[in-house]
Amino acid sequence: MLPMHQIWLAIDARQVGGIEVHVIHLAKDLLARGLSPTVVLVSNHGTTPFTVLLKQQGLPYEVCRNSRDFMRRLARQPASVLLHTHGYKAGVLGRLTAWLTGKSVVSTFHSGDDGEGLLKFYSWLDRTTARFAKCIAVSEPIARKLPVPSTVISNFVPMPATPASVAGNRIAFVGRLSPEKGPEAFCQLSAFCPDGEFHLYGDGPMKSALWQQYGDRVQLHGFQTMANEWHNIDLLCITSRFEGLPLVALEAMAHGIPVCTFAVGGLVNLIDHKSNGWLVEPGHVRDMAELVNYWLRSDETARSKMSQAARRTIARGYGVNHRVTDILAVYGA
């Protein structure tokens, strides 16, 4: 048993994306092991999809009024509490406060995107303050950007009992509708793949422009709880400019949905080209379209083989239990 059993999982969250789902999987497994995690939201954004999901899952959580309140609350915690931060805001504030008050802190670095403008500064500050924590990176490329040694522990997902059928023509994008995720490149695929049915899941600043330009051939679903949608998807396309190891790829493959993706971040280690999915040179939309058309023409046998290979990849290397055990080793190191 760890010397500490109270664990703060700190995050600044509004929507439910990969980092938020990661925290939920982690909290549920820690609870199952008899530990006492609390998801701590750094700022109060009111009722959000994330707080709704936390309530639905029955997970303990606290909401701080603002950054200053978070730092005060953390400073008052006993030394036995371990802080585990996720995202740059919780990471910077949490590491500095923990360092000043002598508390243990672990930080998971999820993103490989340096960002632009103010976000670029925050990303730099996030990495610079990494020296005040034990660091976990979800992929090797992210680990190489950190100024201190880190432990690489990939994202993880539970295995659903029943795979998707992948017998149809539904091609999906799942993610934030912002430039770094490349949703426009996904929408461009629809012009080169007339037999596909294209579906865009997510919300973000590009939503209105995408709807105006591609709404006639791409269905925009907005933010959805994907647990209810995976069985309606046959192929996932990832068109990001930067990635760590996106949780949506792991979730899709756990359901037996192959992934066709630009070769970025940890995806190059997850995807075995032409075995459990496909890798495409970043930005090469037409090359991705050729692979999507290949999939649309594939028979049941070929699809089943690819689907089974995708599920085996997740079952063997990205299950919750093994990865959380690795995280506990960092906690206790």
What per-residue confidence (pLDDT) applies to 127? 94
CATH class (in words) of the domain with range 6-156+319-332: alpha beta
pLDDT at residue 333, rounded to an integer: 60
> Which amino acid would we find at residue 271?
I
Domain 170-317 matching CATH 1.10.275.10: the answer reads: no
**Those residues with Cβ within 8 angstroms of residue 171's Cβ, 6 or more apart along the chain or in another chain:** 189, 193, 196, 197, 198, 199, 234, 235, 237, 292
In degrees, rounded to 5, the angle at the alpha carbon of residue 169 between the alpha carbons of residues 164 and 175 is: 70
Fold: same for 6-156+319-332 and 170-317: yes
Residues 294, 151: Cα–Cα separation, whole Å: 38
Tell me what pLDDT residue 126 has: 95
Where are the extended beta strands (E) located within the chain?
6-11, 36-41, 61-63, 82-86, 104-109, 134-137, 151-152, 170-174, 197-201, 218-222, 235-238, 259-262, 277-280
Residues with Cβ within 8 Å of residue 28, at least 6 apart in sequence: 57, 59
Instruction: Please count the other Cβ atoms lying within 10 Å of the Cβ belonging to residue 178.
Output: 16
User: What pLDDT is recorded for position 78?
Assistant: 92
Per-run averaged pLDDT (10 residues), the chain, 333 residues: 74 91 95 95 95 95 97 94 96 96 95 79 93 95 94 93 95 95 97 97 95 96 90 97 90 97 94 97 98 97 97 93 94 82
Calculate the CA 105 to chain-centre distance.
Answer: 21
**Contacts from 123-132 at CB under 8 Å and sequence distance 24+?**
123/88, 125/88, 125/92, 126/88, 126/91, 126/92, 129/91, 129/92, 129/95, 129/96, 130/91, 130/95, 132/95, 132/96, 132/98, 132/99, 132/105
Instruction: Please report the pLDDT score of residue 14 as a whole number.
Output: 87
In the chain, domain spans: 6-156+319-332, 170-317
Task: Indicate the helix (H) or strand (E) that contains 96.
Answer: helix 88-101
The pLDDT value recorded for residue 25 is 94
With b for 16 or more beta-carbon neighbours within 10 A and e for fewer, the 324-333 pattern comes to beebbebbee
Output the pLDDT for position 112: 73
- Using an 8 Å Cβ cutoff, are 190 and 215 in contact? no
Is the separation of the CB atoms in 159 and 311 below 8 Å? yes
- pLDDT tens, 265-319? 889 999 999 999 999 999 999 999 999 999 999 999 999 999 999 999 999 989 8
DSSP letter for 226, please. G
Neighbours of 75 (CB within 10 A): 12
> Who contacts 52 (Cβ-Cβ below 8 Å, separation ≥6)?
none
